[in-house]
Structure 1
Amino acid sequence: MLFYYTGKNRYMDYPNKTTKFLHLKIKDGEYMLKKWTSAVMLTALTLLINNAIATEQPLHRYLIKNVNVYDGSDKLIPNQDVLIEGNLIKQISDNIAAENGTDIIEGGNKTLSPGFIAVHEHIIGQMSFGDIFTTDTRFAAYVASSTVNTYLMNGYTALRDVAGNTFSLKKAIDEGYVTGPRIYPSGPMITQTSGHADHRHASDASNVNGNGTWDPMVRNGDMVVADGVPQVLKAARESLRQGATQIKIAVGGGTGSYADPLDVIEFTPEEIRAAVNAASDWGTYVLAHVYNSDGIRRAVDNGVKSIEHANLIDEETLRYMKEKDIWLSPQVSVYTFIPKGYTEDQAKKHRAAYAGLDNLFSTAKKIGYKKIAFGSDIITDPAAIERINEEFVHRTKWFSNAEIMQQATANSAALLALSGKRNPYPHPMGVIKVGAYADLLIIDGNPLDDISILTKPKENLKMIMKDGVIYKNTL
């Protein structure tokens, strides 16, 4: 039982509100005690509080026995035990003795992995393009609640949402009302007029006076259309006010937008720096949607730390990114199909983006590019989210199983950690070590030998734990 004085004075609903009461809290309930000034009352209160603190329940303990631990290398560490206390990993060793009250989980010589992390996801918007532009916000939220549960059941314990109003969803997950991964929300993607988040067709009315308010995704806080330094500053600061852990801007054309070819550059250097300066002042960073080399160089030159996509990059620019220590956040899954609702022009751009992947990844391997993260970019397709773990297999054309596992765990966790002072989850993720979050998976089989086993999460993810809480256990 946790019993403490909150430091506040409260009043009963008396007409004159002259009688003060101490505001006390016992776990989830709130209680009032009349505020006396006598030494007797203060002594009694002190004894009550001390007794409550002394009887506080110890942290829950799990001991996972006999597992082969994935530690980020190309081999598993065999026959390990992992002790979890509360939401953190307490000890890793062989033959850890279980204390009284510790729950034992027999791992059966299976693989223990950190939870997967996907850093380019769209939690809001897993419905057709038509529904996205016509549905109400509550329906979108209900769909998103189902989407995050799907991610967790596929083994993802953390996500970076890169365009959408997911602030309330994050809070609902953190407070236990919704089951899902940790969310690092970017808030709305910030774009210029005619940019990646300007969804008007050529025949639609001018946007000069309306600033995109015709668009429900703009009204609902999923996108922002901003032009000029003052508007970009305001958009970034508004996202930070709402709780963004990082800021996303569009610096080039996209496949899902109508007005911008993939080769265009969006935002001036001054506009990009405005977003970067706003994020930097809050201790975090900016990520940029962009496919082409010229846009990537403009983004990097003006302070962007994470490049999303980069499908059409040339070798010189990729080497430049490596020299500047920039994160590369690519995806494969979304390009393996034409998203629902795409026009032929959008589909043509989508196919061009897919065609560029081989050069991107082949060049990355050639030059030894290590700062590569994991994600899917799936949007408008709940069925594709169910198959999100196909991303692991898609990457085997260019990377080893060990490299892909590292991208989906430690690498992506390191990218999330760039949020610095805005990081809502300060303990290590994506690794199995003492002091890290107990975000863990028990996998039937060894993904370093056969990563395709991850495409069958219902059968092969035997245990899913996030923050020390078990959400699935079929051992």
Structure 2
Amino acid sequence: MTATPETGKRLLFRNVRVFDGHSGDLLGGDVLIDGDRIAAVSDSPIGDEPGRETIVIDGGNRVLMPGMSDAHVHLVGNANSYVDMVMGSESHIALNGLAEAKNMLHRGFTAVRDMAGDTGSIKSVIDRGLFEGPRIYPSQAALSQTSGHGDFGFVYQCPTAFGGDQSRAEQIGFMRVADGEDQVLAGVREQLKKGASQIKLMVGGGAASMYDPLYTVQFIDKELRAAVNAAADYGTYVATHVYNVTGIRRALAAGVRSIEHGHLADEETIALIAEKEVWLSMQPFALGDHHYPDPDRAEKDREICTGVDHIYDWAKKHGVKTAWGTDLLLEPQIAPRQSEMAARLGDHYTNLESLKMLTSGNAELFRLAGERDPYRQAQFGMIRKGVWADVLLVDGNPLDDLNLLADPGKNLSVIVKNGQVVKNQL
């Protein structure tokens, strides 16, 4: 549940042009927020209500748009360096994550889907209105097999499956190593117990991990199906980290609902994703978004980046339901690149298509959580009566210039989340 703003107050945006999250036709007029919901969108002036305090913001013909969302963040992973994660206390790691949550909100991201990390307490503090931050859809710890993308134990350590100690990534709730159906079931149920709205599994190799080449396929069929069934019993779904063709096809066959990344797929596999109506949660990676100290991981990163153009082209061609995310990790100094990556969508889509993905499109993916959706009382990612009051007032028209989003400090004049003004520089 989200915190409810002080009762009795209304927030009225006058003289704005409204991008509603869907249409490229901007509606000129007023938008009224009452409490934590949008109460009215009108092309004629909305008056005061006797006995009610109304805060009026004159938009000066600026564009009012829904708050943006990021479908693939790591709040604690993005806010902490490798040294922080290894050496810092759990409170140090969590507080850095809380601070980064505020930063994300001030970049205009009013909702995020966290895809690995212990964010339950951060979400609770934000939802109670005690600290600024976006709505969080937590996955809690991501599940990995031994030697998989989420196994950060050292080679000389005995695996947990053989009685060894947990790696640091497991100790802080960032990953959970699970082998076999029983451990996978327990791992999924553990994350649901901790408040996960969806489940994240590592189904192939990745750049950040040291042991697994990109071509590897992780978790066998019965392990994947066990995870999907356990998540379905809680009314939610499984999302899978995977780049390669074999891993994607295995995940699709098991019934996962969201493919995270997919940069090394071929066209036939992208067409299959569309056929099965599964989401593709993509990131417009570019060389330089991540930095790796060793040549092996740097080469994996280069290979991933080369797939971006092809995947977006095929996704558009076959009508794949595509979401947008960033997946920045372990380099807090580059966290503001989140805004640059949002604007980078314009290299692959029209400005309207990009804005829809950043708002109503991502929000549709988030709602796959069903009864596990922590904000299911209303929708977001659009401007219409009855939805959560998460809006941005842009100094300029992002339908004409998507690069406005790359500099939120300058171009986002007002940010409102849950009916509360968190920034107003008019």
CA deviation map 1:320-355 (0-9, x unaligned): 11010000100124x432634542211110110001
1:288 match: 240
2:338 match: 388
Determine which of 7, 15, 29 is the counterpart of 1:80.
29
**SS of the counterpart of 1:372?**
strand
Query: Is the contact between residue 75 and residue 114 of structure 2 (CA under 8 Å) also seen in structure 1?
Result: yes
2:82 match: 129
Determine which of 169, 183, 196 is the counterpart of 1:244.
196
Output the amino acid matched with 2:26.
I
Residue 210 to residue 135, structure 1, CA distance change in 2 (3 Å): farther
CA distance in 2, matches of 1:89, 1:211: 54
1:404 equivalent to 2:404? Answer no
Deviates more, 1:388-397 or 1:148-157: 388-397
Q: Please, what is the CA RMSD of the aligned residues?
A: 1.5
2:112 match: 159
Deviates more, 1:207-216 or 1:186-195: 207-216
Written as runs of structure 1 = structure 2, the 5 A alignment for 1:104-123 is 104-123=56-75
Output the amino acid matched with 2:195.
G
1:357 match: 308
Residue 77 to residue 302, structure 1, CA distance change in 2 (3 Å): same
TM-score scaled by length of structure 1:
0.85
2:369 match: 419
Output the amino acid matched with 1:421.
E
Output the amino acid matched with 1:233.
L
Residue 200 to residue 153, structure 1, CA distance change in 2 (3 Å): same
1:34 match: none
1:66 match: 15
CA distance in 2, matches of 1:295, 1:341: 24
CA distance in 1, matches of 2:372, 2:213: 34
CA distance in 1, matches of 2:199, 2:139: 5
Residue 338 to residue 368, structure 1, CA distance change in 2 (3 Å): closer
CA distance in 1, matches of 2:213, 2:344: 26
Output the amino acid matched with 2:92.
F
Output the amino acid matched with 2:339.
N
**SS of the counterpart of 2:263?**
strand
Query: Is the contact between residue 196 and residue 260 of structure 1 (CA under 8 Å) also seen in structure 2?
Result: yes
Residue 104 to residue 196, structure 1, CA distance change in 2 (3 Å): same
Instruction: Give the superposition deviation at 1:236.
Output: 0.4
1:216 equivalent to 2:191? Answer no
Residue 209 to residue 288, structure 1, CA distance change in 2 (3 Å): closer
CA distance in 2, matches of 1:59, 1:237: 41
Residue 473 to residue 251, structure 1, CA distance change in 2 (3 Å): same
**SS of the counterpart of 2:30?**
strand
CA distance in 2, matches of 1:284, 1:182: 18
CA distance in 1, matches of 2:356, 2:289: 28
Query: Is the contact between residue 160 and residue 177 of structure 2 (CA under 8 Å) also seen in structure 1?
Result: no
1:144 equivalent to 2:97? Answer yes
1:180 match: 133
Kindly tell me the number of residue pairs found equivalent between the two proteins.
Answer: 416
Instruction: Give the superposition deviation at 1:389.
Output: 0.9
CA deviation map 1:95-137 (0-9, x unaligned): 1112242111111100001000001000012232233222111
Query: Is the contact between residue 22 and residue 382 of structure 2 (CA under 8 Å) also seen in structure 1?
Result: no
**SS of the counterpart of 2:247?**
helix
Residue 116 to residue 268, structure 1, CA distance change in 2 (3 Å): same
Instruction: Give the superposition deviation at 1:212.
Output: 6.6
**SS of the counterpart of 2:63?**
strand
Output the amino acid matched with 1:439.
D
2:329 match: 379
Output the amino acid matched with 1:145.
L
Instruction: Give the superposition deviation at 1:394.
Output: 1.9
**SS of the counterpart of 2:15?**
strand
CA distance in 2, matches of 1:437, 1:408: 16
1:313 match: 265
CA distance in 2, matches of 1:316, 1:294: 12
1:468 equivalent to 2:419? Answer yes
TM-score scaled by length of structure 2:
0.94
Q: Structure 1 unaligned segments of length 5 or more: list them.
A: 1-56
**SS of the counterpart of 2:224?**
helix
CA distance in 1, matches of 2:163, 2:240: 21
Deviates more, 1:250-259 or 1:130-139: 130-139
Output the amino acid matched with 1:425.
Y
Instruction: Give the superposition deviation at 1:59.
Output: 3.3
Residue 210 to residue 350, structure 1, CA distance change in 2 (3 Å): same
CA deviation map 1:144-178 (0-9, x unaligned): 11110110010000010000000111001111222
Query: Is the contact between residue 198 and residue 212 of structure 1 (CA under 8 Å) also seen in structure 2?
Result: no
CA distance in 2, matches of 1:347, 1:188: 25
Residue 169 to residue 212, structure 1, CA distance change in 2 (3 Å): farther
CA deviation map 1:179-217 (0-9, x unaligned): 11010000100010010111234x422315456744111
Output the amino acid matched with 2:139.
S
CA distance in 2, matches of 1:340, 1:355: 16
Written as runs of structure 1 = structure 2, the 5 A alignment for 1:202-351 is 203-207=155-159, 209=161, 213-333=165-285, 335-337=286-288, 339-351=290-302
Q: Structure 2 unaligned segments of length 5 or more: list them.
A: 1-5
2:396 match: 445
The one of the two structures with greater contact order (alpha-carbon pairs below 8 A, sep at least 6) is 2
**SS of the counterpart of 2:72?**
strand
Output the amino acid matched with 1:80.
G
CA distance in 1, matches of 2:150, 2:159: 12
Query: Is the contact between residue 21 and residue 65 of structure 2 (CA under 8 Å) also seen in structure 1?
Result: no
